[in-house]
Amino acid sequence: MINDIKNKILRQRGGYIALLSALIISAVVVVIILTLGQGTYLHRINIANSYFKERSRALAGACVETGLLDLTSNPNYSGNETINVASDTCRIVSVVSGGTGRVISAQGIFQNSYTNYKVTVATSTVSILGWEEVQNF
């Protein structure tokens, strides 16, 4: 009789233990899935940001090339214009005389990703002496 009572109590507790174990395992699985999902989401955002930066670099580079072309046809070219590149735009902010030649300042913007280039060009040959990305003009 005592054994029957012990077995009955163990069977009743066994159900609670199984239920509690299932809840704990489910909670752990949910935490793992949320962590992996968040990591994937953040990785996707980083990929998009690097793509946007690459596009802004290409736009700024296109403006530098346009500025070089304009300097060859007009040595007094001063910039300050917006250039259409396909469906996007870039800006030639300025073309000014510097110590070693002329400096072309160009900016490309794509989806709030900015690229600012300062390119130093030899005055007589219009060849590139230096090319750097700067934070601000």
pLDDT score for 41? 78
* DSSP structure class, residue 74: -
Q: What is the pLDDT of residue 96?
A: 94
Q: How many domains would you assign to the chain?
A: 1
Per-residue pLDDT of 54-76, as tens digits, reads: 999 999 999 999 999 999 999 88
Contact 71, 87 (CB under 8 A): no
pLDDT at 43: 81
Residues 48-62 as b/e (b if ≥16 CB within 10 A, e otherwise) read eeeebbebbbbbbbb
Residue 87 has pLDDT above 70, yes or no: yes
pLDDT at 31: 92
pTM above 0.95, yes or no: no
- pLDDT value of residue 2: 66
- Please tell me the predicted confidence (pLDDT) of residue 75: 87
Q: What angle do CA 88, 94, 118 make, to 5 degrees?
A: 80
Domain of 24, in residue numbers: 2-134
Give the confidence band of 8 by pLDDT, cuts at 50, 70, 90.
Answer: low
- Nearest in space to 106 (alpha carbons), one of 78, 64, 65, 54: 64
The C-alpha atoms of residue 12 and residue 18 are separated, in whole angstroms, by: 10
**94 pLDDT above the threshold of 80:** yes
- What's the Rg (C-alpha) of the chain? 32
Which residues does 56 contact at the CB level (< 8 Å), separation at least 6? 108, 109, 110, 113, 114, 115
pLDDT band, very low/low/confident/very high, at 24 (cuts 50, 70, 90): very high
